[in-house]
Amino acid sequence: MPEQLVFAMEVFLNGLMAGVLYALVALGFVLIYKASGIFNYAQGVMALFAALTLVGIMDGQVPFSHLINAVFGTEIHHFGWHLPALLAIVLTMVVMIALAWLVNHFVFRHLVNQEPIILFMASIGLAYFLEGMGDIMWGADIKKLDVGLPQGINSAIDEITFGIFDYGFFIDNLDIVATGIAALLVVGLVIFAQYTKQGRAMRAVADDHQAALSVGISLNYIWVMVWSLAGFVALVAGIVWGTKSGVQFSLSLIALKALPVLMLGGFTSIPGAIVGGLIIGVGEKLFEFAIGPMIGGATENWFAYVLALIFLVFRPQGLFGEKIIERV
């Protein structure tokens, strides 16, 4: 087998893995957009906030410690515990549910039936608020997150591919685990939406508020539930990204990569978010591999956006989005 083709295969696999990570973030967007029509710009920051909170709780960091110390002249930083990862994840989820309630109660409940652009602006506001809040609560330094996910080269794949191609593929264990988690998450979400009472109620609210009220569904309950779900997805994304590249504020920028993913997959489709993520991931890696060297590299920075632009021209609803029908 020609050497170039083997390299391309490795790049393809790595692209798939990267795509899964994009898809994880995009999933959170789709959930909220489907149920409430809000394009939640803050989804990336929620992932950051979740990761910061998780690290803080695990390491027993005192929230607002800088602020407290500055005001009262104290010197407190740590509670002095180290919690097991699972317990910390559960506690972080409680924080995310509380956040969901606060966001609905103080912001979006008051903006029902407003224009999409107003909801979008509110979510930008929320993004900056959360980013600042994360900073004040937990500090701005880069933190290491280790919840016990495996990391480093997967030696089995390395050995097998070496046996076949005489060249060992470098596939990160973390990426493989992330793929499994994403698959579980999607299957879980689809089952939830299709087969449970709450899922049915969620779809009902997404479809028609009045009708949902008339069968006895509380809109606020469903919205808090959806924001909690988005918080949960953000937590998962935060854990995976945080483990991969450390918990830092640039994490919130991965939200921007989710935009082209959504344009490809459609804003309303959960499987679309996954497929869109994979296409972007594979596309940008292969493009960088094949075309990049000819045009000076660094194509990964813009490839996804150009692909999304092309999609916007030819298929604005995305691959899986609901068809836009305008009746005249």
Residues lying near other proteins in the complex (CB under 8 A) are found at 195-198, 200-201, 203-204, 206-208, 210-219, 322
Say whether 247 sits in a helix, a strand or coil: strand
Q: Which two tokens stand for residue 85?
A: 């990862």
- In the complex, the smallest distance separating the C-beta of residue 195 from other proteins, rounded to whole angstroms, is 8
Whether the CB-CB separation of 278 and 327 falls below 8 Å is answered with: no
Buried b (16+ CB within 10 A) or exposed e, 138-153: bbeeebebebebeeee
* CB nearer other proteins, residue 113 or residue 214: 214
Q: Which two tokens stand for residue 80?
A: 């002095």
Query: What is the C-alpha to C-alpha distance for residues 35 and 17, in angstroms, rounded to an integer?
Result: 28
Could you say which DSSP state residue 153 is in? B
* CB nearer other proteins, residue 200 or residue 244: 200
- In the complex, the smallest distance separating the C-beta of residue 62 from other proteins, rounded to whole angstroms, is 33
Ramachandran bin of 129, using left for φ above 0, alpha for ψ from -120 to 50, beta for the remaining angles: alpha
* CB nearer other proteins, residue 98 or residue 211: 211
- In the complex, the smallest distance separating the C-beta of residue 188 from other proteins, rounded to whole angstroms, is 9
- In the complex, the smallest distance separating the C-beta of residue 93 from other proteins, rounded to whole angstroms, is 14
- In the complex, the smallest distance separating the C-beta of residue 221 from other proteins, rounded to whole angstroms, is 9
* CB nearer other proteins, residue 114 or residue 198: 198
- In a 13 Å sphere around the CA of 290, the CA atoms on its Cβ side amount to 14
- In the complex, the smallest distance separating the C-beta of residue 322 from other proteins, rounded to whole angstroms, is 7
Q: Which two tokens stand for residue 132?
A: 């600042």
* CB nearer other proteins, residue 80 or residue 197: 197
